[in-house]
């Protein structure tokens, strides 16, 4: 697929992918995609990533139910970062982070330390222990 060849994949065949909430502009998470994940995302309209820790495709929400519907796929000016504009499904308010928070970017640096500034919306043990 020619459009996949335009992506600048790293040495492991991956590209970072940022998931941004389409309705609010909130940055929800950063994950990694390989060619298959990006192809499947484009074909299905559902966020699919490559799990580096598991070494396999990861359909966002396959365990948690927190699925990302993809509205747009964008590529940055250097062709080495993908931006997904998504709607996060599965909980209201939406949860994208495995910690049970809306966004993975919930820690704020202030006064020499990191502080959790976003609430846990759902206990992660109830999300993953099914």
Contact 40, 29 (CB under 8 A): no
Q: Is the pLDDT of residue 130 over 70?
A: no
> What is the structure's pLDDT at 93?
87
Query: From the centroid of its chain, how far is CA 26?
Result: 12
**What is the mean pLDDT of the segment spanning 56-68?**
94
Cα 99 from Cα 103, distance rounded (Å): 9
> What is the structure's pLDDT at 129?
60
Q: Is the pLDDT of residue 128 over 90?
A: no
**What is the mean pLDDT of the segment spanning 39-62?**
96
Residue 46 CB burial class (10 angstroms; 0-12, 13-18, ≥19): middle
**What is the mean pLDDT of the segment spanning 75-93?**
95
pTM of the model: 0.92
Q: Which CATH superfamily is domain 2-94 in?
A: Phosphoribosyl-AMP cyclohydrolase (3.10.20.810)
pLDDT digits (tens, 9 = 90+) for 105-118: 999 999 999 999 99
């Amino acid at each position: 697929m020619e459009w996949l060849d335009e992506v600048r994949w790293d040495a492991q065949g991956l590209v970072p992918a940022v998931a941004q909430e389409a309705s609010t502009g909130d940055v929800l998470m950063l994950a990694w995609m390989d060619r298959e994940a990006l192809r499947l995302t484009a074909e299905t309209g559902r966020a699919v990533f490559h799990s580096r820790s598991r070494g396999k495709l990861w359909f966002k929400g396959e365990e948690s139910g927190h699925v990302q519907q993809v509205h747009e796929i964008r590529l940055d000016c250097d062709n080495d970062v993908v931006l997904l504009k998504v709607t996060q499904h599965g909980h209201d308010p939406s949860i994208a982070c495995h910690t049970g928070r809306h966004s993975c970017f919930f820690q704020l640096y202030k006064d020499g330390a990191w502080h959790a500034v976003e609430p846990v919306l759902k206990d992660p043990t109830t999300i993953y222990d099914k």
